[in-house]
Structure 1
Amino acid sequence: MQAVEAANDRGPMACHLYSLIGYAQMLDTCGRGERAAAVRQEALALLTELAATGERKSWSGYQASYWAVLLSFSGADSERSTSGGPRPPSGATPMQWSPDAKRRYFESRIALRERVDTLAPRAAEDPDQHLAELVRLHRVLTVRSAVYWEHRTHMFADRVHSLFDDGVRLARRLSRQHPADGTPALAKILIDRSTFHTAAREFGPALDDFCQALSYLGEAD
């Protein structure tokens, strides 16, 4: 649907891009790596056009909300199952979440921030033991913060830019420490930041991050 709408100038190219990236992640999860790589090449072509010319026409701005919904969906793979409360419904905007799910999801950012800050010095001292968990927790914090702020202000990029940058730095450390596990994690977090840049209409940096991610995945031309 997003492909048809973008091709006929009835929908933003950015939303088509987010759909392609999310689809590729789903294919990876299902073990269909070759098809996922092909879909990422479609995303690359679309992002290259965005970086060169921007959107073909002006849109109302719902692209960022669409991005946040898909980001919360993709971020679920970094979370661990917990009991004792409702989870947000996949694919729904925060406006459609129950009050309990919304409160639990967003208020968890405080505890996540504390856990990340506590774990950071331990990861510096003993990266073999703690760095991978720090990267995972930081991604959960970043995703939840991005969804929170996008829902509340059009200036969301200023609130979460540093979180995406910090996540990439941590993932680079993990990639150097444990290439087998860390390099795929770095690629994933670079793609996260690429979609963030796209939502902020920073298409050049978005393309740079996406190309780096493809190189780490072994999918660069």
Structure 2
Amino acid sequence: MTVADQFQADYESEVWARTILLGSRPPRPDQRVEAYRILAASNPRGYGARLARALVGLRYADGDRAPIEVQLGRLEDACAAVELADPQDPGHGRLVTDVLGTYQRLLYSAGRRAEGLAIRARIASTPGGDRVSYALGLAEEGRHAEASEVLTEVPDGTGQHDIAWNRFALTAQLDMAGRTAEAVAVLDEVLGEDLGRMSAGTGSVATVFHESVWRAALLDRAGRESDAGAARREAMALLRRLAATGEPKNWCGAQYSIAGTLLSAMTWDTGHHDPGEPRPPYGADLMHWSPDLRAHYGENSGLAACGCVDPDRPPRPVPDPAGQDAPLAEAAVAHRRRAIRIGTYHLWRRGHQFLETALPAFDDSVTAARRWHASDDRAARPALVRALTERAVLLAAGHQFQEGLSSYEEAVRLIG
């Protein structure tokens, strides 16, 4: 082909591309991609961003019908197109976040976690980029000190998730990094603000109760027994208020996600993770966990056996996770682990319907702890206190305040 022939072919391709894009009918997603690909070849800065967004749009238009490797290939092309776009464009930062954010989520879904984390790091390095997702990715790899450092650097009011949620994640990651005293200080900030909203009638009493219970657990871990006792008394007063008068308002469904997040954060020690296996980014809403980890958390915790993964399936009895002949201590630990996972997942997945299948698991946890306590009061007392407290948290989230109060009062009496 001569130079003149090539020029003519390029010209005709560009005419086709412009005609497709400016026609009276919207182009198909694949036509839009091809048209922008042609135009970006001659004007990358002018059309790179549009090509990138068209490729992302094609991925969503196809849904999961295309093989995941095909979807990843398209998003790799989209990331390459981002590099062609004008970095001085006012929307460039948003473009990077949107395109690379879609790519990293698919990488995690495909189990390519290291590559997904690398993309999150790249997004975080972009001015205004999402640093919270990068921090949660670090947390999932057990890099809690690094995660807490990144979260500390996230300025308030940046629109990256939510200020309170970021502080929940920071509190949990500091605690898991062994910096529990700092974790208490961060949670105190959140608790102080929520107490102010509660007093003004613009905040949930149950949420403040959950935060107070978490604070008591942190203070216990920090060796501040007297302060932990005071925190439990404050939590008790809040739960008695709820048992007497209920919540003054019917708050939005976010209260269930908050309760599940705090429940898992205050009980992160129940988790069992094999070496090299990702772990939940405690303190973060399940919505912000990586897709593969969220699925793994549900499918490998007894949830599938009781119908918890699919909320439209009726619940079924769950086999004893420790086996009928397991030692009492081992059974108590296994039942507690299962209860926490079911409760955390259901509070996020099923909203106000979570008690139907979550509460029996917490009742089983308390029963297993009682059996151990009956045979060894001294060794098992902390386990029974934890099981009763966790059931109280779940019941309070379900607005069964009187039953929650009975469970929490017994836990506090056992502590003495």
TM-score by length of 1: 0.89
Q: Which moved more, 1:132-141 or 1:11-20?
A: 132-141
Q: Structure 1 CA distance, aligned partners of 2:269 and 2:321?
A: 23
Q: Structure 2 CA distance, aligned partners of 1:192 and 1:16?
A: 15
**2:349 is the alignment partner of 1:152:** yes
Which of the residues 120, 123, 142 maps onto 2:323? Answer: 120
**2:277 is the alignment partner of 1:85:** yes
Contact map agreement 1:86 1:100 (CA 8 A) in 2? no
Amino acid at match of 1:145: I
* 1:70 Cα offset (Å): 0.7
Q: Percent identity?
A: 34
1:126 aligned partner: none
1:175 aligned partner: 373
Change (3 A) 1:143 1:67: same
Change (3 A) 1:192 1:15: same
Which of the residues 135, 140, 143 maps onto 2:337? Answer: 140
Q: Structure 2 CA distance, aligned partners of 1:189 and 1:74?
A: 12
Tell me the SS of whatever aligns to 1:121: coil
Q: Which has the higher contact order (CA 8 A, sep 6+)?
A: 1
Q: Structure 2 CA distance, aligned partners of 1:103 and 1:83?
A: 19
Amino acid at match of 1:191: T
Change (3 A) 1:112 1:37: farther
Contact map agreement 1:75 1:139 (CA 8 A) in 2? no
- Count of matched residue positions in the alignment of Structure 1 and Structure 2: 212
Contact map agreement 2:322 2:331 (CA 8 A) in 1? yes
1:186 aligned partner: 384
Q: Structure 1 CA distance, aligned partners of 2:321 and 2:393?
A: 28
2:363 aligned partner: 165
Deviations 1:123-150 (A, max 9, x none): 3xxxxxx211111111111111112222
1:110 aligned partner: 302
* 1:174 Cα offset (Å): 1.0
* 1:178 Cα offset (Å): 1.4
**2:255 is the alignment partner of 1:66:** no
1:57 aligned partner: 249
* 1:110 Cα offset (Å): 3.4
Tell me the SS of whatever aligns to 2:300: helix
1:3 aligned partner: 195
Amino acid at match of 2:238: L
Q: Which moved more, 1:130-139 or 1:22-31?
A: 130-139
1:127 aligned partner: none
> Comparing both structures, which one devotes a greater share of its residues to helix?
1
Q: Structure 2 CA distance, aligned partners of 1:62 and 1:26?
A: 23
Contact map agreement 1:112 1:137 (CA 8 A) in 2? no
* Structure 1: gaps (5+ residues): 124-129
Tell me the SS of whatever aligns to 1:146: helix
Q: Structure 2 CA distance, aligned partners of 1:117 and 1:168?
A: 14
Q: Which moved more, 1:84-93 or 1:134-143?
A: 84-93
Contact map agreement 1:6 1:12 (CA 8 A) in 2? yes
* Structure 2: gaps (5+ residues): 1-192, 306-317
* 1:101 Cα offset (Å): 1.7
* 1:121 Cα offset (Å): 1.6
TM-score by length of 2: 0.49
Q: Which moved more, 1:86-95 or 1:101-110?
A: 101-110
Q: Structure 2 CA distance, aligned partners of 1:85 and 1:183?
A: 31
The CA RMSD measured in Å over matched residues stands at: 2.0
